[in-house]
């Protein structure tokens, strides 16, 4: 009963490098989301997906790319990491888009 898993849990990368955060869910939920959590900002939506091959921007999408070729996976890519992208990233899924969301354990990303 894995639910929703994120990998890696911790990542340190250098400015300018590309990095991909993985998210996998076993419930076959239609909706998946990426949020970033920063002190003083709460949880901010980066991208979301209503189904495989359907993605849309959230509140803070700049500098990020997502894809969803399979229902269960929703990777988030930072094309050229910047220090301002140092954050904790949470992936979440839900049956419908605006009801109970199930969060992964988070990935703590540090860009140096």
CA dist., res. 37 & res. 87, Å (int): 6
Does 35 engage in binding with other proteins (CB under 8 A)? yes
Q: Which is nearer to other proteins, 104 or 111 (CB)?
A: 104
Does 28 engage in binding with other proteins (CB under 8 A)? no
Choose, by CB under 8 A, the member of 24, 25, 29, 31 that binds other proteins: 31
Q: Are 92 and 99 in contact (CB under 8 A)?
A: no
Tell me the two tokens of residue 80. 């050229």
Does 53 engage in binding with other proteins (CB under 8 A)? no
Q: How far is the CB of 34 from other proteins (least distance, A)?
A: 10
| Interface contacts to other proteins, rule CB under 8 A | 31, 33, 35, 40-45, 48, 50, 56-59, 90, 92, 96-106
């Amino acid at each position: 009963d894995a639910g929703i898993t994120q990998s890696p849990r911790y990542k340190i990368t250098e400015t300018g490098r590309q990095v991909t955060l993985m998210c996998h869910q076993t419930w076959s939920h239609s909706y998946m989301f990426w949020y970033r959590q920063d002190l003083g900002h709460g949880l901010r939506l980066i991208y979301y997906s209503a189904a495989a091959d359907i993605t849309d921007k959230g509140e803070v999408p700049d500098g990020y790319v997502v894809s969803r070729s399979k229902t269960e996976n929703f990777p988030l890519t930072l094309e050229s990491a910047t220090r301002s992208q140092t954050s904790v990233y949470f992936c979440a899924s839900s049956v419908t888009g605006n009801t109970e969301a199930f969060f992964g354990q988070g990935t703590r990303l540090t860009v140096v």
